[in-house]
A and B are shown apart, each in its own frame.
Chain A
Amino acid sequence: MADRIILQVTRYRPEDEAQPTFREYEVPCPKEWVVLDGLNYVKDHLDGTLSHRWSCRMGICGSCGMTVNGEPKLTCATFLSDYAPGPVRVEPLANFPIIRDLVVEIGDFMQKLAHVKPWIIRQEEKPLSEGEYQQTPEELDAYKQYSMCINCMLCYAACPVYGLDPKFLGPAAIALAQRYNLDSRDQGEKERMELLSQHEGIWGCTFVGDCTKACPKNVDPAGAIQRYKLKAALAWLKDIFVPRGAK
């Protein structure tokens, strides 16, 4: 195996250039190196002006998402040697505006997360003296998968609906809403349903399914959205066919 590999990295310096360009860097490629190691090598040894986001280096913080050879990936979990002999093209995450180099603007996503009310909503809090809200392992299992999301936004980069219409609430936000809806301690499903059953909510999704393929945490946001659609459709049917008094 070659011991060096070429990275083709997007550079965008808004103060000097009107559009992003590519720049090539040659970096070492030991078998334990991930794409992020390559980028850090560039930053430390070759070109200190490169900007990119990262923090944990272990697939937990969700900040190192980029487009590697056209696919949305966590760069800390994507091995350089898998792309040998190269070159490897590293671009910012698709579907988000670029601020600089590999750094994208995520304000829209942050707003969307908060929009679905991702916290436990109670109609009535029980008094402290009654102790905590307990949960069985089965009740935990019902939502655990959706709670694994690390907000890396790879699913948004994979979603053509979001690319075409940035108003679409998008995979992770809907999966996060499901995480709370399916929590036995939560009573906010109705409130969230009003937000999510709008056109830009679940109905924007046409089941492309690429969000689920891109997700590094097996959250299966596409599944979460289809479950939600079924639930919304049943609620709508119930509204029409069940007489008011009987509900």
Chain B
Amino acid sequence: MAFSSIGGSPDRQRVAQERLKIIARHLQRPGDGDSAIVAAECKAQGSKSDASSERRTVPRRRQEIMKWNGWGYSDSRFLFNKKGQAEFTGKRYRLSGMIIPALKDWMESTFGASMQHKTSATPVLNTSAVQPPNLNDAFVEELKSTGIPFSCDAEDRTFRSHGHCLHEIFALREGKFGRVPDMVVWPSCHNDVVKIVELACKHNVCLIPYGGGTSVSSALECPREETRSIISLDTSQMNRILWIDEKNLTAHVEAGIVGQDLERLLNESGYCTGHEPDSMEFSSLGGWVATRASGMKKNIYGNIEDLIIHIKMVTPQGVIEKSCQGPRMSTGPDIYHFIMGSEGTLGVVTEVTMKIRPMPEYQKYGSVVFPNFEQGVACLREVAKQRCAPASIRLMDNEQFKFGHALKPQVSSIFTSFLDGLKKFYITKFKGFDPNRLCVATLLFEGDREKVLQHEKQVYDIAAKFGGLAAGEDNGQRGYMLTFVIAYLRDLGMDYYVIGESFETSVPWDRVLDICRNVKARIVRECKEKGVQFPPLSTCRVTQTYDAGACVYFYFAFNYRGLSNPIHVYEQVEHAAREEILANGGSLSHHHGVGKLRKEWMRETVSSVGMGMLKSVKDYVDPHNIFGNRNLL
């Protein structure tokens, strides 16, 4: 078979190491808290087990390292330099400091965007535009006496008023703030949370748990109709691994820890959870539980529900948890399933026992090019059928394939246009493939060396049956490397009148092609009908495979020049796309959750009786709606 290009890279360990380095580089010891914050250390049970746990990514004052109106670290962003070339700033990522020569071309040809038409974001957060806090004095008084740190600072509050939906970020860029929490509290352990919840109940204030703030379902938005004082309960300081049990391969972890810290700390002991959502740099364990998150490598490690052994949650009715850590139980409906996906409506997840695995000995990337998307999907289906999916397998459609090429960093000094580069690529490698139809799958294998190589062969053999040709490790690796920087790209788009978002669904296998075609076409049609002046980017990828179906992501972006209310248009189109998804047998969400964005479809999704069941749980657990973010129901 024609797989000679695979064994190309001799140093396989390098890749795994590299990956760890990426994550490790994100680390930065945050500066100490501002004086506005009342400092008080939680006297947690047991002393901190390992020294490195002191190094945490997320400080109380997120503004020290993160953007207030865009994605990620302040020092990392895409921009067009003086020569008009795209560049990624900072030092954190592999792409950092590199020139991406084809990006400009791609943006211009795909969106009709132009360097002449720029819309800059409001540069600084204007605190006077933030509404003054509505405080419940009695609550504040009692809270003070607990010594738990809190803040009413406008910046702190604004940071916790949003997730990363397009409309949320767009408003911030325009310097517009809606309802923001009136106060932020930072518990540092389970007991702190118990106290806060008690006080909240006593004084009838509204609590909104805040993990990493990466929500993309409007889950963190303060409900407009809420008149009580709203307290954002920021879990970021509850970030310790409390113990590791090597006999049972479990770790007991505080729920505020963010993904990159969790992996780094476990890695130091030779373990990992393997749970890697694309947002893992910033999203938290508690957030994953609360939204039923899914990680890229779920094929080996499982989704969050497969990884959970034990959960502790503080509710207005008290603490809920199970009495043992048995790996499976037949004790009525699993109460953890009320917690997973509860989206902060029932209580605060404080501690979680999770499965861990020894770190994989060996990692290998790969990629396959298919003549068309149909063949690609057929191949993924077969891989799922034979239950031999690699740690990760993702299938990009043609537009995304081109997009991937547009993000190739500069290697030689000779400037080649994006299209030239592409053409050369096809001509040299994939004769007979139509450059406007072919698509690519990226692969990540993990495990011991022998098995990985065996596994790899099995997958490539299947791919060959569907006309797939191996396209090298580099393409695969670049694909995965990009997962962390892609979120930054939206901010660049917004600088040039391009707005966009991704959304996902899960769907039975026999529907995958139909849903992809129809949703993409629906987006294009809706844009036209809503008066969008430029053809939109409407693309998709299959990101997860299951026995009975797949997870599909849609990416949708357009140039909004000429529209008076672009966000409204965007929302209408996304709404229509979701209707299309549902009409084509797709689910309301595979892992992003419902939040407030997709609430209107809950009843038809779970039936009226189902709604009633969920409601009755809410009514029992939280009769006064202390956890009043109004998600889900």
Do A and B pair up? The answer is no
Which residues does A use to contact B, with CB under 8 Å?
Answer: none
